[in-house]
Amino acid sequence: MEIYIVDDYQQLSMKAANFVASQVILKKNTVLGLATGSTPEGMYSRLVQMNHEGIVDFSKVITFNLDEYLGLASEHPQSYHFYMYNHFLAHINIAPQNTHILPGITGDIKKTCREYEQKIREAGGIDLQILGIGINGHIGFNEPGSFLKVQTHLMGLTKETIVANSRFFPTLADVPRQALTMGMGAILQAKRILLLANGKSKARAIQEMVNGRVTTAVPASFLQLHRNLTLVLDKEAASLLP
Ligand code: GLP
């Protein structure tokens, strides 16, 4: 595990964007696993800039998003579809058919999950998976519990996550209670993983993830088993590390 600790959010975003750009420059047809949340916003914005400056070309890149809220249509401003297009995909030269996001509205959840797994496999798996981390140690929407799932699946969100994510919704009652998420399998099988965290609220999850036991109570702790994991943290998120 490689850990970079930077002074602030601006530096975190720059470093993360350089990391992703160097991957795409080296391998034009990179398969990227994308994360949402407030943490990677600065990174996406810098990548858009780098694309416009001609530094990085996304024309051959394939993307798979980690997760989506169940029940939110892609036009819903809080859907991860909306987020991804708004912050990144609509502003770069990516081919729309190369972008994949789990649907928030689907008639057959099991089939949708199966097909998503199949598409990831057909693309050859993920080259670089970008991750944030929940305050409770979740990755994607793989929430803490007595077990974790390997495949893409439907997940009931924990109270902690619903409360944490309510900042994006008018009221707590508006936060979806369920989501579709890539499972631990596709994430851990990614060739490289880049995890970003900033702010004091993430310090405990980062400390447990880096130094704690590998446990389903902290899904991110399984990343300790990955051979090519890079963390970019600001000082506050790293504040409980030894
Ligand atoms: C959300 C997403 C995660 C994200 C996490 C942290 O629930 N499902 O993929 O990493 O929460 O979000 P933020 O970066 O806004 O703190």
221 lines ligand 1 (CB under 6 A): no
> Is there a catalytic annotation at residue 136?
yes
DSSP secondary structure letter of residue 137: S
> Is there a catalytic annotation at residue 68?
no
pLDDT tens by residue, 86-120 = 999 999 999 999 999 999 999 999 999 999 999 99
141 lines ligand 1 (CB under 6 A): yes
Q: How far is the CA of 33 from the centre of ligand 1 (A)?
A: 14
Consecutive H or E run containing 43:
helix 41-52
Tokens of 112: 């949708």
> Is the separation of the CB atoms in 117 and 186 below 8 Å?
yes
What is the rounded CA–CA span in Å between residue 34 and residue 131?
Answer: 7
Entry pTM: 0.98
What is the rounded CA–CA span in Å between residue 58 and residue 175?
Answer: 33
Active-site residue, selected from the candidate residues 117, 127, 143, 234 = 143
DSSP secondary structure letter of residue 122: H
The strands making up 2-6's β-sheet, listed across from edge to edge, are 2-6, 229-234, 192-197, 128-131, 31-34, 62-65, 99-100
Task: Quickly state the pLDDT bin for 30 (edges 50, 70, 90).
Answer: very high
> Is there a catalytic annotation at residue 138?
yes
Q: How far is the CA of 57 from the centre of ligand 1 (A)?
A: 26
What pLDDT score does 205 carry? 98
Q: Count CA within 13 A, CB hemisphere, residue 33.
A: 33
Residue type, position 240, single letter: L
Q: How many CB atoms lie within 10 A of CB 29?
A: 13
Q: What is the mean pLDDT of residues 173-193?
A: 98
What pLDDT score does 112 carry? 98
Beta-bridge mates of residue 230: 2, 194
What pLDDT score does 128 carry? 98
Active-site residue, selected from the candidate residues 81, 87, 138, 226 = 138
What pLDDT score does 98 carry? 98
What pLDDT score does 134 carry? 97
What is the rounded CA–CA span in Å between residue 110 and residue 106?
Answer: 10
Question: How much of the chain exceeds pLDDT 90, in percent?
Answer: 100
